[in-house]
């Protein structure tokens, strides 16, 4: 089938590459010529494991094309995926300007029946707005009501995890399709069924529903996952107060099949492009419909406060004034296996350390380039602070002479470091661990003063102190 993907961000690029991988003819459009230049020169503008290999393979086979030609993109695809950004407005609502502009272009250049798929995460009612925009453009061309230029707007939300997006796309646990129950909708249903047929060979993964329910499903899913994270973070803060171990609690409640283990890890809060934006948008949708979403308001508030939890632990240990101290920071991206710095907890942590007079040496296996760009913007108005932030090329480089190590992102390479070497190069053997990578007992045995999230601190014995 001939498919057009509008937007080459995480969702659009991964979706387009995976559809090309299973044999479809995919045209990827982006209005940013820099992105298209990168893609046409053999690179990818984002870090996502496995993505470059698929794009290289499908480009060589002639099944994927990258272009800025809007008219050609509309002419190409019988199915038009809208996968552009929906950034939050100042009031937290999703900004639909890019979605509606994509719809406008489809109506402006449509040359036949089109299935228009909202792949971007959009509020309930967006499909109706997209339909109205396309219809207005067809009317302006004198084609309103034309049988040849009929269209159907479908909601097909994505459920991709950054860092595992290719795997999620190639082996989906469900495919949600919201579709109208009219003649055009039935034609669209047959095309979508054919499109996703390769993913349903072992068993049927597609869930058909009305359009508004499909739009709502995406927001509800992300809101539930964000709620689990904030719940465990709030429990971890209480565990700190009462002397419980949140890891033991996690195992205890996760073993209940009604709860399960996923998204129950305590840490320094969620970030990225999805959870913060989608929770805010859903709260805003509730307000617009006179329905206050109190649980989600609390989820957002807890997450905001949790991003300061490591700073609180640091200042309660070393004092509010950190002038002259140096901190090694491991992990900058909001999660492993991505270079995404959007809403990353590291940004707030580092800004707080710098504001208190500290110097920071930071390392991330993938996100250094993006981190340099982001912090240049974040600290633009405080050049004196920016001068005290240094990025290193290895995790070991961050440690030499630092007063403490702070772990923000749980990259695999951080899970089994050489602790003896770490102790020999740190000024003092202190770790503030925002991801609970190590066992407090083991750290105390090694003579490392270890502060985790919701886990009791184990006092160093006299023997351990002597070794430290």
Q: What SS3 state is found at 65?
A: strand
Q: What pLDDT is stored for residue 93 in this prediction? A: 80
Judge if 325 and 409 occupy the same domain.
yes
> What does the block give as tokens for 299?
């989820």
Active site residue 274: yes
Q: For residue range 22-57, list pLDDT tens digits in order.
A: 999 999 999 999 999 999 999 999 999 999 999 999
**363 Ramachandran zone, left/alpha/beta (phi>0; psi -120 to 50):** beta
CA angle in degrees (0–180, nearest 5) for 344-251-249: 80
Judge if 70 and 151 occupy the same domain.
yes
Identify the CA nearest to 359 among candidates 303, 402, 409.
Answer: 402
What residues form the annotated binding site for NAD(+)?
Answer: 30, 35, 86, 121, 162, 277, 342
pLDDT class of 303 with cuts at 50, 70, 90: very high
Q: What SS3 state is found at 418?
A: coil
Element (H, E) at 362: strand 359-363
Q: Report the relative pairing of strands 25-29 and 2-6 from DSSP bridges.
A: parallel
Q: What pLDDT is stored for residue 466 in this prediction? A: 58
> What does the block give as tokens for 39?
């893609």
Element (H, E) at 206: strand 206-209
CATH classification at residue 247:
1.10.1040.10
Of 18, 28, 169, 274, the catalytic one is 274
Judge if 266 and 398 occupy the same domain.
no
Domain end position, chosen among 156, 186, 209 = 209
Judge if 114 and 145 occupy the same domain.
yes
pLDDT at 81 over 60: yes
Instruction: Give φ, ψ of 149 to 5 degrees.
Output: -110, 30
Q: For residue range 442-455, list pLDDT tens digits in order.
A: 999 999 999 999 99
Domain end position, chosen among 244, 278, 305 = 305
Contacts of 22 (CB under 8 A, 6+ apart): 198, 199
Judge if 281 and 246 occupy the same domain.
yes
Q: What pLDDT is stored for residue 463 in this prediction? A: 62
Identify the CA nearest to 158 among candidates 112, 206, 120.
Answer: 120
pLDDT at 207 over 90: yes
Judge if 31 and 90 occupy the same domain.
yes
Q: What pLDDT is stored for residue 465 in this prediction? A: 63
What residues form the annotated binding site for substrate?
Answer: 159-162, 218, 263-267, 271, 335
Do 150 and 128 contact (CB within 8 A), yes or no?
Answer: no
Judge if 321 and 428 occupy the same domain.
yes
C-alpha of 133 from chain center: 29
Judge if 108 and 135 occupy the same domain.
yes
Answer whether residue 129 is part of any domain.
Answer: yes
Q: For residue range 388-429, list pLDDT tens digits in order.
A: 999 999 999 999 999 999 999 999 999 999 999 999 999 999
Judge if 97 and 234 occupy the same domain.
no
Q: What pLDDT is stored for residue 401 in this prediction? A: 92
CATH classification at residue 100:
3.40.50.720
What residues form the annotated binding site?
Answer: 30, 35, 86, 121, 159-162, 218, 263-267, 271, 277, 335, 342
Strands (E) across 78-127 are located at 79-82, 114-118
Judge if 140 and 127 occupy the same domain.
yes
313, 315, 318, 321 alpha-carbon torsion, rounded to 10°: 170
pLDDT class of 92 with cuts at 50, 70, 90: confident
Q: What is the mean pLDDT of the segment spanning 84-108?
A: 90
Q: For residue range 249-272, list pLDDT tens digits in order.
A: 999 999 999 999 999 999 999 999
Domain end position, chosen among 191, 209, 227 = 209
Q: Is 321 exposed, middle or buried (0-12, 13-18, 19+ CB in 10 A)?
A: exposed
- DSSP code at position 94: B
Q: What is the mean pLDDT of the segment spanning 224-232?
A: 98
Identify the CA nearest to 362 among candidates 332, 402, 401.
Answer: 332
pLDDT at 309 over 90: yes
Average pLDDT, the chain: 95
C-alpha 84/C-alpha 119 separation (Å) is 8
C-alpha 99/C-alpha 95 separation (Å) is 8
Q: What pLDDT is stored for residue 346 in this prediction? A: 98
Domains: count for the chain:
3
Q: What pLDDT is stored for residue 90 in this prediction? A: 73
Judge if 329 and 426 occupy the same domain.
yes
Q: What pLDDT is stored for residue 467 in this prediction? A: 58
C-alpha 66/C-alpha 211 separation (Å) is 29
Which range of residues forms the domain containing residue 281? 219-305
Judge if 279 and 312 occupy the same domain.
no
């Amino acid at each position: 089938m001939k498919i057009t993907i509008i937007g080459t961000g995480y969702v659009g690029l991964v979706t387009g590459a995976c559809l090309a991988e299973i044999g479809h003819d995919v045209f990827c459009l982006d209005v940013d010529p820099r992105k298209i230049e990168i893609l046409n020169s053999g690179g990818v503008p984002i870090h996502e494991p496995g993505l470059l290999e698929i794009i290289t393979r499908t480009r060589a086979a002639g099944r994927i094309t990258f272009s800025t030609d809007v008219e050609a993109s509309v002419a190409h695809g019988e199915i038009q995926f809208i996968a552009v950004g929906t950034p939050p407005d100042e009031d937290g609502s999703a900004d639909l300007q890019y979605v509606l502009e994509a719809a406008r272009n489809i109506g402006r250049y449509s040359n036949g029946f089109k299935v228009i798929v909202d792949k971007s995460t959009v509020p309930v009612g967006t499909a109706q707005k997209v339909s109205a925009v396309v219809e207005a453009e067809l009317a302006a061309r004198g084609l309103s009501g034309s049988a040849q230029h009929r269209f159907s707007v479908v909601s097909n939300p994505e459920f991709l995890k950054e860092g595992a997006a290719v795997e999620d796309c190639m082996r989906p646990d469900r495919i949600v399709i919201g579709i109208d129950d009219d003649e055009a909708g039935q034609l669209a249903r047959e095309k979508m069924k054919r499109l996703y047929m390769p993913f349903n060979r072992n068993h049927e993964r597609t869930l058909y529903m009305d359009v508004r329910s499909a739009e709502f499903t995406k927001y509800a899913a992300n809101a539930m996952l964000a709620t689990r994270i904030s719940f465990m973070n709030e429990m971890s803060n209480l565990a700190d107060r009462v002397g419980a171990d949140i890891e033991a609690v996690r195992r205890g409640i996760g073993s209940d099949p009604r709860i399960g283990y996923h998204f129950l890890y305590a840490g320094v809060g969620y970030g990225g492009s999805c959870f913060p934006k989608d929770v805010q948008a859903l709260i805003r949708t509730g307000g617009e419909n006179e329905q206050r979403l109190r649980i989600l308001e609390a989820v957002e508030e807890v997450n905001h406060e949790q991003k300061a939890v490591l700073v609180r632990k640091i200042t309660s240990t070393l004092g509010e004034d950190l002038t002259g101290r140096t901190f090694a920071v491991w992990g900058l991206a909001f999660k492993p296996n991505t270079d995404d710095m959007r809403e990353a907890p590291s940004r707030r942590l580092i800004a707080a350390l710098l504001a208190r007079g500290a110097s920071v040496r930071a390392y991330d296996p993938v996100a250094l380039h993006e981190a340099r760009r982001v912090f240049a913007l974040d600290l633009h108005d405080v050049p004196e602070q920016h001068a005290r932030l240094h990025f290193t090329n290895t995790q070991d480089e961050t440690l030499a002479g630092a007063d403490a190590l702070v772990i923000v992102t749980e990259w695999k390479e951080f899970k089994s470091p050489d602790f003896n070497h770490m102790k020999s190069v740190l000024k003092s053997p202190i770790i503030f661990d925002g991801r609970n990578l190590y066992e407090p007992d083991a750290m105390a045995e090694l003579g490392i003063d270890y502060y985790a999230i919701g886990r009791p601190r184990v006092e160093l014995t006299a023997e351990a102190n002597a070794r430290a």
